[in-house]
Amino acid sequence: MAGSLGLLPAWARSGTPGAGRARAGSDVLSGETIALEIGATHFATGGRASHAVTVNGTLPAPLLRLREGQTVRIAVTNRLREQSSIHWHGLLVPFHMDGVPGISFPGIDPGETFVYEFPLTHSGTFWYHSHSNMQEAVGLYGPIVIDPLEPDPLGADREHVLVLSDWSPIHPHEQMRRLKMQGGYFNRQKQTLQGLLAGRDQSLSDRLAWAKMRMDATDISDVTGSTYSYLVNGHGHAENWTGLFAPGEKVRLRVINASSMTNFNFRIPGLPLTVVAADGNPVQPVETDEVQIAIAETYDFVVAPGEAQTYGIVAEAIDRSGLVRATLARRAGLVAETPKLRRRPLLTMRDMGMDMSGTEGGADGVIDLSKPAGGTEAHSMKGHSMSMRDPSVAPGVRMGPGVATLSPMPVDRLADRPTGLEDAEHRVLTYADLRASDPNPDPRVPSRRIEVHLTANMERYMWSMDGKAMSENPSPIPFRLGERVRIVLINDTMMPHPIHLHGHFFELVSGEAGHRARKHTVNVLPGGKVSLDLTADGEGDWAFHCHMLLHMHAGMMRVVTVRREQEQPKVEAGGGEVL
């Protein structure tokens, strides 16, 4: 693995004394003028080697350690033979500095240097990545830490930045092609006859009910550990990234999920995690044992390792097809124990958007799906049948081959434990546990409400919003500058989708108003819905998409427009996206 070590920036190397104390220089980049060079390289880990796209020759890209209040000038030079770009994920920047080719700017052509310039108006843990040609799947991602103007009240003694990611020798374009040929191509944890005979997984009657609907209860991740190696700061499992601590120290971990297709279950067995920030925004400290970190989310934790020698940091793919272990240690060279991969979870009726009254949390909910639609009125709501594809539940969705199912009764799942952690025996963070430290800046009640359906056909590997893929050039989702709108995301698929809105934070509508968690990315659980309150204060055009890279690429994306109101406000909705 020596070859790959050369690519790692100093802060990401094993045994680093901590990013906060890392030297400034080419590996941790600070100051108001920064130069980044995107180049084609090679990367190998865990026996998996392939072409990579990196920044300044490292994977992950250099840590940008900046300070709130600065105005930074970041010159990005593209040394690839194809176009590239960098998007500053979670930073509130003017839209034309947001880095999405075709929406915010033209992209950076080969040989070209583009100078991004923007003020840093807030602090926290963020990241950056390419928004071109799926380059983020092959290495173009890196962390950003913006230190606050005021001294941080947390007063951690030391901090480490952990960039979680996935690495496959199969190029994402080829992954996509194989998934189009066979939706379950990378799933090697399907239910089998052997499992049935051994009494594992679903019972025969449940299997038949699911088979009748052509739904696979093991369809949790599209691209899995069968091709991925999972990385912490560019280190695979065997390379054991190690972060140091001294006895009695309070250690802050800034954890970023920079994966292209992997949601991670994150835990440090034996060491409670105190969540202090989500998506860069401080939250009221809440202690937990495990957190599912969806793609593109960032969480800051404070841990107190005390007098122990080592702790294992475990990032496990949510379908349990693989994991990566890193170590928190008193000194370099110590290796923490690796827990066994836990058993692969199964999806439940709740993941189909069928909320069974009386079986709330319903992993064991049983319903007779063989009855014809309409024959289960006892379970229906508002007269909707339990049909899995009744267009009346989603009038804004364009039906077609790309929409295999519509959740008949989606429930708000912000207080649910995330996929696969329903039955974990320790504490698991839910979105409802997150309360913002600071009062929400905009207390207005939204003036209107829109729904966006996340739609798919897993067998054909088609992904869309409201049944229309981005490649069909759908109408954008329009907002007035400054208006407050509730966005309801309804997941009509069996897979969680981390949905990201560029250029804004939104509040998760959970619990009392006033201190709701503010995020840039929300993981919408299968068959469920979430409500977000958005103040559309970023004038311009923005991308809005699923951060599962292949889902975005396949079409689960929209352009969001934010415009000053015209003289004569018009009230006509012009497209199918807006309800």
Partner 1 sequence: MPLIVALALGATSAGVAPQDRDHESHAASAPGDMDHSAHAGHVMQSHAKQDAPSAEPGDAQPPEIPADHPADRYFPPERMAAARAAMIQEMRFRTFALQVDRLEYRTGSAGDGFGWEGQAWYGGDVNRLVVASEGEGTFGERAERIELATYWRHALDPWFNLQLGMRHDFRPDPQRSYALIGIEGLAPYWFELEGQLLVSDKGDAHARARASYQQRITQSLVLEPELEADFALQDVPELNIGAGFERFELGARLRYERNRSLAPYLGVHWERKLGQTARLARRAGESASGVSAVLGFRAMF
DSSP 169: S
Give residues 515-534 in contact with partner 1 (rule: CB under 8 A).
Answer: 531
- Candidates 46, 62, 101, 236: give the one binding partner 1 (CB under 8 A): 101
Task: Answer yes or no whether residue 447 interacts with partner 1 by CB under 8 A.
Answer: yes
Task: Answer yes or no whether residue 448 interacts with partner 1 by CB under 8 A.
Answer: yes
- Phi and psi angles of residue 104, each rounded to the nearest 5 degrees, phi first: -100, -25
Give residues 454-513 in contact with partner 1 (rule: CB under 8 A).
Answer: 457, 459-462, 469-471, 473, 475-476, 478-486, 509-513
Give residues 371-430 in contact with partner 1 (rule: CB under 8 A).
Answer: 389, 400-404, 411-415, 430
Distance CA 529, CA 353 (A): 9
431 three-class SS: helix
- Candidates 48, 73, 171, 178: give the one binding partner 1 (CB under 8 A): 178
Nearer to partner 1 by Cβ, of 6 and 569: the residue is 569
Nearer to partner 1 by Cβ, of 101 and 234: the residue is 101
Task: Answer yes or no whether residue 446 interacts with partner 1 by CB under 8 A.
Answer: yes
Nearer to partner 1 by Cβ, of 328 and 421: the residue is 421
What stretch of H or E contains 207? helix 204-212
Task: Answer yes or no whether residue 354 interacts with partner 1 by CB under 8 A.
Answer: no
264 three-class SS: strand
Task: Answer yes or no whether residue 176 interacts with partner 1 by CB under 8 A.
Answer: yes
Counting residues that bind partner 1 (by CB under 8 A) gives 106
- Candidates 31, 106, 111, 270: give the one binding partner 1 (CB under 8 A): 106
Task: Answer yes or no whether residue 76 interacts with partner 1 by CB under 8 A.
Answer: no
Nearer to partner 1 by Cβ, of 157 and 483: the residue is 483
DSSP string, 71-96: EEEEEEEE-SSS-B--EEET----GG
What are the start-end ranges of the E strands in 46-201? 48-55, 63-67, 71-78, 87-89, 113-119, 124-129, 141-147, 158-167
- Candidates 33, 182, 203, 205: give the one binding partner 1 (CB under 8 A): 182
Task: Answer yes or no whether residue 71 interacts with partner 1 by CB under 8 A.
Answer: no
- Candidates 42, 79, 96, 426: give the one binding partner 1 (CB under 8 A): 96
Cβ(461)–Cβ(180) below 8 Å: yes
Nearer to partner 1 by Cβ, of 250 and 480: the residue is 480
- For tokens 């034309």, name the residue: 96
Note the residue count of the chain.
579
Task: Answer yes or no whether residue 250 interacts with partner 1 by CB under 8 A.
Answer: no
Nearest distance from C-beta of residue 382 to partner 1, angstroms? 15
Query: Using only C-alpha atoms, what is the Rg of the chain?
Result: 23
Reading the block at residue 418, the tokens are: 């995330």
Q: How far is CA 568 from CA 482, 519, 535, 564, 572, in A?
A: 17, 33, 21, 11, 12
